[in-house]
Structure formats: structure tokens, C-alpha cells
Structure 1
Amino acid sequence: MENLAKKVRSKKLSTRVDLTAMVSVSFLLIIFFMVTIELAKPKAMVLDSPDHGCCDCPSYPDYGENRSITVMLDENDKLIYYMGLLESPIIAPKEIKYGKDGIRRELLKRKNSLLKYSSKSLKPESIIVIIKPSKKSNYGNLVDILDEMKIAEIETYAVVPEFTPEETKLLAAN
């Protein structure tokens, strides 16, 4: 039993844990997850559609064929436009390019001529653009034509996915 009494006890060391590295890693993880959450949010373009009479929106009884331009989008960045009705167009259907020397110049020219014509009346009328993307056109073409509407400051336009039989024949012929 004497051996047990003389037993040397080991010196107790203080247990100190350095958490500096843990704090650095946790801040890096917080920043990483904040950035990935922000990048994972869907980015979408707001596309307003008509309410179809569910609100008291003003009605315009003077929609005329001389105010409407129809722009049809087809495959391979093809863009065909006409003014008025297809049966009796004011401007016959023609193929045109995107950009400032193409559809933008035509839109601005038609908008300015209509504003000059309607400036004599009390309320100036604006041009109406009907955008018709075909099933063969790509999403980039739709974004490009919507950008042209914004650049040309066309306030009244609509994206209509339906084609008349005459328009389908026109696209097939071109």
C-alpha cells in the first residue's frame, strides 16, 4: 500500500481551445451561402398582360389599322413586319433586320408620322405594335424586340402567340 501513496500524479494542463480558425471558417460559410442564395433567385422580366375587362381600364374606340404595326418573329432571327391589316396593308409585309438601321428606324418613323398627324387632335395617339413570335423563333428574339420597344419608347404593344392562316402562309413563303 505504500506504493500507492507515493504514486506521482501527473500535472493537469489547462485545456484551452483556440477558436480563431473556427470563426474565420464560419464567416466564410456565411458569406458563401449569402452569395449563393442571391444568385439562385430567379431573374424574370415583367410582362404585363391585359386584364380582359376585370378593371376599369380606359377603352380606345379609335384603334385604327393606320396605327397598328404587326411584327412577326421567325427562325434564324427573321423579322417580318407590316402595317395595317394583312388583307389590305398600308405597308406591305417585308423582311427587316434588328437594330437601329432596321426595325427601330421604322418604328420611330411611323411613330413620328403618327404623332404629327394626330397632333391636331386634342389627345395625341400612339402607335400600336403587335408582336407575334412563332414557335420556331427563340427567346432571344423576343427579348430583342422588347428592347426595341423600350428604346423607341413605344408604350402600347402586345405579345400575341396566335397567327392567322394568312400570316402562317406568309411565314412559310418567306
Structure 2
Amino acid sequence: MSAEVQESGGKRGKSRQKKISVRVDFTPMVDMNMLLITFFMLCTTLNIPQTMEISMPSNDKDITEDQKSMVKASQAITLLLGGDNKLYYYEGEPNYKDYSSLKQTSYAASGVRDVLLRKNAVAVNKVRALKQQKLDLVITDDEFKKKVSEIKSAKDTPTVIIKATDDASYENLVDVLDEMQICNIGKYVITDIAEGDEFLMKNFDVKGELSKKIAE
């Protein structure tokens, strides 16, 4: 960088311009920027990665195949994912004669979430109490995770069976899986939909007309 300085002098009173170089030192500004970057890096809270827990099947060799596939009807709830964002569910074993045994809900928080929270109320309350203990520093993070895992896998917790039709969207399936984590469901499985399940949905949409025809 250069600057011009005007000087007057000489016998004839003429002025002349003299160029001198000016040096600007940016070192203090660089130091200040580095200090600011360091400050914000130390004071900023980084996002914690969100992970999804996966319940793996038991590897106990003493359990037979029949026992592995057996689910108590009183603890089972089946979710049927249909087209056009439709979601149905039934508890226990399906009743093909009574169309009202199948219930319709939604993917909203006031829909399937309320159903699962009601079904899993005992485990939800226990996990909620553990979260408070963790906040109060009564238990460590490792102890919290271990106890939550034990609560989710307890025998009295429900098992959710998820079945999707070909018309169901991938987004609907992801929404249902998110609800498993929100509602502390530790036992759930995704399986192929059966013809009987499709009959339940069709019979529900026509308010039991199909089951009436079969009975006749």
C-alpha cells in the first residue's frame, strides 16, 4: 500500500508529490479472530447423535422355536399399516366375525402414541422415574441405560407386531418405529401381512359387510 504526500518547495514555488509506502499490520486482527473462534468452540454445545435401540432376539439355546414365536394374547398389539396413511390396530388375537374389534387410529401424537402409552403404562412410568433419578444424579448414565433395558425387556411389557400392506409408505413405517422408542417399547417385530389382516381392514371399511356375507 502506498500514500502520496504533497511537498512544496523549490525556487519557482512548484509542489511535487512524494510516494511513501504504508504497511498495515493485520496480526492483532488475526489473533483476535482466533481467540473468538476458540471461545465459540469451547462454549458451543455440540449436537448429540441420535441412535435407535434395536432389540435383538434371544440366543438362549434352551428356548424352543415354539417358545420364541409365542406371544401372550393379552400383551400383544398388532399394527396394520394401510394405504393413504391409514393405520389400524387390534389387541390380542384377531376377531374376524366382529369388525369393531379392529380400531382405526392415526400417526399423530394423539393417535397411535396414546394407544402404545396406555398399553405400556407400567414401563413408561418406571422409565420416567429413572429419568428423574438421573437428573438428580442419583444414578449414573450407565446405570440408567441398564435399568431401562431391563424394564423394556420385562415379561409384563407388551409386544408390538407391525404389518404393512404394499400400499403403505416407507414414511409411515419410520413413524411407527419412532413411536416404539418414544413409548419405550422394547419388544416389537416387523412381519409380512397375512390375508386375514387384509380381510380385517376391508371388512372394517365396509362396516362388517364381508363377515355378514360369510356368516350367511
TMscore range, shorter length: 0.5 to 0.7
Extract unaligned runs of 5+ from structure 1. Answer: 1-44, 117-122
| Conserved 8 A contact 1:67-1:114 | no
Aligned to 1:150: 181
Which residues in structure 2 correspond to 1:65-144 (within 5 Å)?
Answer: 65-87=73-95, 92-112=101-121, 124-144=155-175
Aligned to 1:56: 60
Change (3 A) 1:68 1:130: same
Change (3 A) 1:57 1:103: farther
Using structure 2 for the length normalisation, give the TM-score. 0.47
Shift in Å, 1:124:
5.0
Equivalent pairs, count: 119
1:18-66 Cα offsets, whole Å, 9 max, x none, are: xxxxxxxxxxxxxxxxxxxxxxxxxxx8977758xxx326846873100
Give the secondary structure class of the aligned counterpart of 1:159. Answer: strand
Using structure 1 for the length normalisation, give the TM-score. 0.58
| Conserved 8 A contact 1:69-1:84 | yes
The sequence identity of aligned pairs, in percent, is 29
| Structure 1 or 2: more helix by fraction | 2
Aligned to 2:193: 162
Extract unaligned runs of 5+ from structure 2. Answer: 1-51, 126-153, 206-216
RMSD, aligned CA: 3.3
Shift in Å, 1:113:
5.9
Shift in Å, 1:112:
1.6
Change (3 A) 1:137 1:49: farther
